[in-house]
Amino acid sequence: MNSLLATNFTLPGQTHKYTGKVREVISLEDDLLVMIATDRLSAFDVVMPKGIPYKGQILNQIATQMLDATKDIVPNWLEATPDPCVSVGKRCEPFKVEMVIRGYMSGHAAREYKAGKRLLCGVEMPDGMKENDAFPVPIITPATKAEEGHDEDISREEIIRQGIVRESDYIQLEKYTCALFQRGTELAAQKGLILVDTKYEFGKTAEGKIVLIDEIHTPDSSRYFYAEGYSERQAANEPQKQLSKEFVRQWLIANGFQGLEGQSVPDMSDEYITEVSNRYIELYENITGKSFEKANLEQIETRIEQNIVAYLAQR
């Protein structure tokens, strides 16, 4: 199946293009941003050689629905979605931290816990927990945003001490993060899911207003469990049934890759790529409660360019 690994067009009024691990962000005149969700797959901060069909569409459409469902809590950057893989909005200055919030001891937190650590980003994790247990209250474990390579854990105190975010702004980011996680938890529960952990990114407009940016509550930025059977699986010390790209991470780990120096990315067969694509579609339908409508995969880049140009012309 065809997939979108990169775009190579130039838009009217384009001033700059930034290529991230998964998204491409094009800056236009008048402080307008065009964000294109590609089908690239990133794990352990490494971009895999092959794309996952429909992944960009899935992430973009979940994110736009979730931004709409949380705009009463915090304003966001989004203005329009002229293509299934594209979001358009106002440019703002991003804060150089990701606000990671964890309701359960899973993923990175569980790996640190198993290694004997009880302090994560300056936040204490209680003794006596086992993987996938709920924390007494959700914990915020921020990470610095790396241009390349791995994001790094950092504490609230270090963020403020280093001047990465000023204290008054950081306090507001924490409040927004907790409120968004609560809303995300409620939305997930309506679909029979548990929002385990997630990350939020924020920026500041030219007028000094803090806004929510990038994707939220997607399977790339979040981890979900199925609520049904959660307690029984925990009591039996069984793995939880997950809705996230953790299944990709586990496959990579099983094939000897965790993004460490000297390790090579294992080959993903066409059959495995199709399996991953189908899992992402399953994620979309479970998270949104809607049937996934596949966009046309023929000449994806041309379709995207034409839809963006048409939107800009009538804007």
| Best CA proximity match to 148, nearest among 34, 289, 259, 307 | 259
How far is the C-alpha of 282 from the C-alpha of 267, rounded, in Å? 23
* CB contact at 8 A, 127 and 143: no
Which CATH number applies to 94-243: 3.40.50.620, 3.10.20.600, 3.30.470.20, 3.90.105.10?
3.30.470.20
Q: Show pLDDT as tens, one digit a residue, over the chain (315 residues).
A: 699 999 999 999 999 999 988 999 999 998 999 999 999 999 888 999 999 999 999 999 999 999 999 999 999 999 999 999 999 999 999 999 999 999 999 999 999 999 999 999 999 999 999 999 999 999 999 999 765 556 799 999 999 999 999 999 999 999 999 999 999 999 999 999 999 999 999 999 989 999 999 889 998 889 999 999 999 999 999 999 887 787 888 899 999 999 999 999 999 999 999 999 998 998 899 999 999 999 999 999 999 999 999 999 998
List Cβ neighbours of 120 (8 Å cut-off, separation of 6 or more). Answer: 109, 112, 139, 141, 153
Domain boundary assignment for the chain? 94-243
List Cβ neighbours of 225 (8 Å cut-off, separation of 6 or more). Answer: 104, 132, 193, 194, 196, 240, 241, 242, 243
Burial annotation 20-42 (CB, 10 A radius, 16+ → b, else e): eebbbbbbbeeebbbbbbbbbbe
Residue located via tokens 């409620």: 186
Residue located via tokens 């791995």: 150
- pTM of this structure: 0.89
